[in-house]
Amino acid sequence: MDNFLEKLFGKEKKSANTAKERLKLVLIHDRTDITPGQLESLKNEIIDVISKYIHIEPNKVKINMTQEGKEHRLIADIPISSTPNRRK
């Protein structure tokens, strides 16, 4: 949809911007030596562990790596289920 609108208004993303976005991700994976596949397994294991204690929605979990200057961060966003399973 975004792409469609961009094309419609002749505002296709500049290739330099695409290069920069792609490089950002590639460099983070290179530097931390973690492949996108490994990040996916990491996510699945985290989901398993957390699910033992809290009700979460596995398909809404997001795990990303970010960079700011020389600092790298693993950011996890794990929404808790809206129908908490309260213990009696």
Partner 1 sequence: MNAKVVTISSGKGGVGKTTTSANLAVALAQENQKVVCIDGDIGLRNLDVILGLENRIVYDLVDVVEGRCRIRQAMIRDKRLPELFLIPAAQTRDKSAVSPSDMIRLCEELKDEMDWIIIDSPAGIERGFRNALAPADLVLVVTNPEVSSVRDADRIIGLVEAEEKGPAQLILNRVNPALTKRGDMLSTDDVLELLAIKLIGVIPEDESVIVASNRGQPVSFANNSKAGQAFHNTAKRMLGEEVPFMDIEANNGFINKLAKMMKFRGD
Contacts with partner 1, residue ranges (CB under 8 A)? 14-17, 19-20, 22-24, 26-27, 30-31, 69-70
- The closest alpha carbon to 50, from 32, 64, 63, belongs to 63
Start-to-end CA span in the chain (Å): 47
Cβ closest to partner 1, residue 25 vs residue 78: 25
The nearest distance, CB 36 to partner 1, in angstroms, is: 15
The nearest distance, CB 60 to partner 1, in angstroms, is: 30
Cβ closest to partner 1, residue 19 vs residue 80: 19
The nearest distance, CB 69 to partner 1, in angstroms, is: 5
Cβ closest to partner 1, residue 6 vs residue 45: 6
**Cα 59 from chain centroid?**
12
Helix, strand, or coil (residue 56) = strand
Q: What one-letter code names the amino acid at 11?
A: K
Length of the chain: 88
